[in-house]
């Protein structure tokens, strides 16, 4: 039986070539279909971001640390999709 309980994870991406940023966003959109939580556990409700916060990580490189919520199957699909585009990432599951 599939797990239908919402889970929380932090997506860590470091040193991503800027040309792959749009591909990461497409993977997020294609795989995370669960309704977003108003405020993820451990985050400030006044600091909610509706978009991925990207920062410069070097010449033509970006990084992000993005809280996410979704079902385990959605996270598995996201991990598979990120691997196909060659992104180096960690999807850290958070116990709630």
> Is 76 domain-assigned?
yes
What per-residue confidence (pLDDT) applies to 3? 67
Q: How much is the pTM?
A: 0.87
Query: Which helix (H) or strand (E) covers residue 84, if one does?
Result: helix 72-85
pLDDT, residue 48, reads: 67
Name the stretches of the chain with pLDDT < 50.
Answer: none
Phi/psi for 72 (5° steps) reads: -55, -40
Residue 74 lies in a domain: yes
Greatest Cα-to-Cα distance within the chain, rounded to the nearest angstrom: 46
Q: Note down the domain range covering 46.
A: 7-94
The predicted pLDDT at position 69 comes to 92
- At 40 the pLDDT is 67
Residue 44: inside a domain: yes
Q: Supply the CATH number for residue 37's domain.
A: 3.30.70
Chain Cα centroid distance, residue 19: 17
pLDDT score at 44? 73
**Cα 17 from Cα 84, distance rounded (Å):** 15
What is the tally of structural domains in the chain? 1
Residue 1 within any structural domain of the chain: no
- Give me the residue label for tokens 């916060």: 53
For residue 2, tell me if it sits in a domain.
Answer: no
């Amino acid at each position: 039986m599939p797990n239908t309980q919402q889970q929380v994870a932090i997506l860590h991406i470091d040193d991503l070539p800027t040309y792959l940023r749009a591909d990461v966003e497409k993977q997020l959109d294609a795989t995370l279909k669960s309704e977003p939580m108003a405020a993820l556990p451990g985050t400030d409700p006044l600091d909610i971001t509706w978009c991925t916060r990207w920062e410069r990580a070097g010449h033509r490189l970006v990084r992000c640390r993005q809280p996410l919520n979704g079902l385990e199957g959605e996270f598995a699909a996201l991990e598979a999709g990120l691997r196909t585009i060659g992104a180096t990432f960690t999807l850290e599951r958070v116990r709630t």
